[in-house]
Amino acid sequence: MSTSIDTSTASDAPVLHRRDVRGVHVLTLNQPRSFNVLSEQVLGELQRRIDLIAADEQARVLVIAAEGKAFCAGHDLKQMKASPRLDYYQDLFGQCSRVMVSLLKLPIPVIARVQGLATAAGCQLVAQCDLAVSVDSARFGVNGIDVGLFCSTPSVPLVRNMQPKQAMEMLLTGGFISAAEAQARGLVNRVVPAEQLDATVEELVAAILAKPRAAIAVGKELFYRQRELGIEAAYQLAGQTMSCNMMLEVAQEGLQAFIDKREPAWRKAG
């Protein structure tokens, strides 16, 4: 097991913890007093770590977690108010969008471990992850409209997780939904009591680790690319992807193992 912690603030207090155990990376937002807001510094650290994970061929899963009562309260509004310039806002939201797209482009699954409140860009972060596990006491909202700011960037992954009218109601009213409602609407996969949160995340991680990384990588890329296409183009792309997947050694071994009625070699290795 290898463990390291980022300590890049002036006060030597880490904004982000990193833990890596046999290819399972855990990035933990570590500003509980400020509800883990996505400041410029936090976004920069997230981007740096995601880029490193993307280059790590041994990486298998990324879990995004947080310390304290809130998972993430969105952007740092005080920081935003201190620089009322169009170019600054364009750079800030561009920085946040790059982090979100980087999560999408990672060749490994990303799981949000939601232990508390997720609002605005924090809710966006949950929506952008491939999977999400939440405690039953968590709440979710895109409430920028309460301060006169429509949550436009959070709306991008939000509407790709839930039905448009459900997403629009949250965006227009700033209203919050419970963890149970978030699950019913497709924002999170599983809702559990706090004492079961880690075990449930570990269950998902174990299920992923039991599958070949290469097949998951091509499958994740296809999943997101095809949903932006028309039905015929989506089927064409999916067919090409499956054909290439079939040429992978893990697929050929998996099929042979099925025929031989045995476990595939890559499963034994995992």
Longest CA span, the chain: 66
Q: What is the pLDDT of residues 17-73, one digit of tens each?
A: 999 998 999 999 999 999 999 999 999 999 999 999 999 999 999 999 999 999 999
Whole-prediction pTM: 0.90
pLDDT of residue 18: 93
Which CATH number applies to 213-269? 1.10.12.10
Measured between alpha carbons, how far is 218 from 151 in angstroms, rounded to an integer?
31
Which CATH number applies to 2-209? 3.90.226.10
Residues linked to residue 19 through DSSP beta bridges, in sequence order? 3, 26
Long-range contacts of 206-215 (CB under 8 A, 24+ apart): 208/60, 208/61, 208/109, 209/23, 209/24, 209/60, 209/61, 209/270, 210/267, 210/270, 212/248, 212/250, 212/251, 212/254, 212/266, 213/60, 213/107, 213/108, 214/248, 214/250, 215/245, 215/248, 215/250, 215/251
> Is the Cα dihedral 222, 223, 229, 235 positive or negative?
positive
Give CATH 1.10.12.10 domain extents, the chain.
213-269
Give CATH 3.90.226.10 domain extents, the chain.
2-209
pLDDT of residue 241: 86
pLDDT of residue 12: 63
pLDDT of residue 34: 94
Measured between alpha carbons, how far is 98 from 96 in angstroms, rounded to an integer?
5
**Is residue 165 classed exposed, middle or buried when 0-12, 13-18 and 19+ CB atoms within 10 A define those classes?**
exposed
pLDDT under 50: residue ranges of the chain: 1-10
Tokens read off for 46: 């997230």
